[in-house]
Structure 1
Amino acid sequence: MPPSPLQRHDLLAPLHAQIRRLVVGVVSDVRTTGIDYDAPKGDPGLFGPDSATWRIHADFPAMMAGGLCALMLQTLHPRALAGVWDHSDFRNDLLGRLRRTTIFVGGTSFAPTAEAEALIARVRRIHTRVQGVTADGTPYRADDPELLTWVHCTEMWSFLQGYRRYRRPVPLAIQDRYYDETARIAEALGAADVPRSRAAVEAYFGRVRPQLRYDERSATVLGVLDRAALPVMFGHAIRPVFLGAGAALLPDWACTLLRRGRLKRMQDAAAARSLALVAPAIRGALREGVATRSCRRMGVSPALLDRW
């Protein structure tokens, strides 16, 4: 006789607890965001439970792989990369950048309205202090509307591809709706001419590609990412799986720029298969995450996020 749902839960509980510890160790640290995702009741935040954004951003495996893909893409833009190079301790704390991105995306996606708006205002203030010149002397500012659009597009494109690959297919109309919804975050940060559909995003990448390049700085940052020590048990084994699963999402033109040859892409595909295999266990372990709490804040079942 197969085990009952309750028995299966009891059998999986130790595994889920271990996975939660691993995930929290990677994406969190001793600092807390101070965000209360449980109140006030009935506050939908910037998107709400009927949005495509809540559905796509609720899937941790897809978001983790997508975030790493976006980071790889962002190393190709000299002005965007210069801000990381000049104003962050990426050699010792590149994981911190991923954590801060996770907090920002999670908060602006699911937090109550006031909390989400406060996060945006905080990032805007930080951006005003990030400025300088690239290696070839070109001025840059983190609050440059063009750079904000680049960062936004790489992230949303990557999150969507991660969901499509590691969770389930996304209807074309929902993809367009997702880009249209999330554009409000980029615009609130100061981005300009933000693409609001699949076609517009692809056209945008086509326009910006002549500005992109893989140089010594790109190689250095990606090298640090490849060697990043994860502060959890089995971190050395987890890192290449998520990195490869993120790289597997890269568009062909980016793989060419990043010099990911046939062997590398085969390794990325193997990592993607590994993530796809463990993704259900990760979802089970994180079923009480911020998306679930936010659904309860709105008085709806988290199961709603499994339906388009």
Structure 2
Amino acid sequence: MYGGRRLCNILENVARQHRQPYRVAMAAPSARAGSLRPVTRDDLRASVEELRRTADPVAGLFGPDSLMWRVNRSTLVYVLGITQAALMDVAHPVIANGIADHSRLFTDPHARAHQTYSMITTLVFGDRDAVVRTSRALFARHEKVRGQARADEGVYREGAGYAANEGNVLLWVHATMWWVRLQTWQAVTGPMPAEDKERFYQETCRLADCFGLPRDLLPADHDAWDAYVRNGPDGVLSDSDDARRIMAFLRRSIPAPARAHLLAFNSVVLPDAARTVLDLPPLNARTRRRYRRVLRLLRLAHRLLPGPLGELPPYRTAVARIEGREPDAVTRAVGRVLAGRAA
């Protein structure tokens, strides 16, 4: 059990982490096929050392006062964010290739969803050792994802090799993963001040270490990050055959009564570059009406859902861990369900 002094030490350590600058040098990442940059084991090793140096042993990369925890603790933001991040991934032809060739999305979508849930929530809410283990496992899993492009898509040529552990590919996954969550959180709770958006972006840079991403590949600040995601990497996004196949599967996965409204919500939240590639509903009056209906329901649910349902179990477990207590029974039960384990 952690007493009051231990809790204060943890919180002070976390506060120091968030006062440190995490700015990097590059303002507009290039993702041209001719500028491929493999992410190597040496890159991962350096990143893991940075994680070990800066993360708190108990709180992990962040902590109760971080914007990362504030945004990602919401169950609603997680559910919508994971869907939106998947859509953004599909718009990148290399990622769509990799999903089609290597993922369990089509054969065991529930197992893939549980695996993704465990990975993301561990990186955000796990203690230092769990974050390091997950980062290494993530790199090892990506290292096996290699193949050849089956057609000319965007700047990628048919027959060209692809790899998941490539800097520009990982950058798109990383950048969009947290961007969509910030957009959805703001839609549900209200706009975030500019200084907080900058702070949130700088916190996401710590998660780049979990991918082994070199810091000089990252956008320099929030505005550069926002522009990168909204505009898409230069010449890369494409409605490839794999993307269309995956999109059709994802559409079918949405319950029919909610399908049109959720697609409309995503069409408004996601950037123009991705909307066009993914063939999401056009931004007309009908789409905006559906978006507003979904948003009203989300805001109501956000206000009314009790803590064990409205907040992700890994967040509540992390708070309990820092306070030196066990999470409550409801949190444990919901956590087992979301992680794909029998209650």
Structure 1 counterpart of 2:75, from 53, 60, 63: 60
Task: Determine the structure 2 residue equivalent to 1:281.
Answer: 304
Task: Determine the structure 1 residue equivalent to 2:238.
Answer: 213
- Structure 2 segments unaligned to the other structure (5+ residues): 1-55, 152-158, 325-343
Q: For residues 47 and 145 of structure 1, what CA distance do their matches in structure 2 show?
A: 24
Residues 76 and 241 (structure 1), Cα distance of their counterparts in 2 relative to 1, 3 Å cut = same
Q: For residues 237 and 126 of structure 1, what CA distance do their matches in structure 2 show?
A: 36
Task: Determine the structure 1 residue equivalent to 2:109.
Answer: 94
Q: For residues 139 and 172 of structure 2, what CA distance do their matches in structure 1 show?
A: 16
- Which 10-residue stretch deviates more, 68-77 or 278-287? 278-287
Query: Are the aligned partners of 1:241 and 1:274 in contact in 2 as well (CA < 8 Å)?
Result: no
Note the C-alpha offset of 1:265: 5.3
Task: Determine the structure 1 residue equivalent to 2:274.
Answer: 254
Q: For residues 220 and 166 of structure 2, what CA distance do their matches in structure 1 show?
A: 19
Task: Determine the structure 1 residue equivalent to 2:250.
Answer: 225
- Give TM-score, length-normalised by structure 1: 0.74
Note the 1:1-308 alignment, pairs <5 A. 43-136=58-151, 137-192=159-214, 193-205=217-229, 206=231, 208-228=233-253, 237=257, 244-259=264-279, 260-261=281-282, 262=284, 263-264=286-287, 266-282=289-305, 284=307, 285-287=309-311, 289-299=313-323
Question: What SS is found at the alignment partner of 2:60?
Answer: coil
Residues 219 and 282 (structure 1), Cα distance of their counterparts in 2 relative to 1, 3 Å cut = farther
Cα offsets for 1:224-272 (capped at 9, x unmatched): 111127xxxxx65566665554443112332233232234554344333
Paired letter, 1:258: L
Aligned residues: 257
Paired letter, 2:127: P
Cα offsets for 1:46-69 (capped at 9, x unmatched): 112222111111111112212211
Moved over 4 A (4+): 235-244, 263-266
Residues 195 and 86 (structure 1), Cα distance of their counterparts in 2 relative to 1, 3 Å cut = same
Q: For residues 274 and 292 of structure 2, what CA distance do their matches in structure 1 show?
A: 16
Paired letter, 1:279: H
Residues 151 and 90 (structure 1), Cα distance of their counterparts in 2 relative to 1, 3 Å cut = same
Task: Determine the structure 2 residue equivalent to 1:305.
Answer: none
Question: What SS is found at the alignment partner of 1:221?
Answer: helix
Note the C-alpha offset of 1:287: 4.5
Question: What SS is found at the alignment partner of 1:122?
Answer: helix
- Structure 1 segments unaligned to the other structure (5+ residues): 1-40, 230-234, 301-308
- Which 10-residue stretch deviates more, 245-254 or 219-228? 245-254
Q: For residues 42 and 141 of structure 1, what CA distance do their matches in structure 2 show?
A: 32
Paired letter, 1:222: M
Question: What SS is found at the alignment partner of 1:199?
Answer: helix
- Give TM-score, length-normalised by structure 2: 0.67
Alignment root-mean-square deviation, CA: 2.8
Note the C-alpha offset of 1:129: 0.6
Q: For residues 254 and 296 of structure 1, what CA distance do their matches in structure 2 show?
A: 39
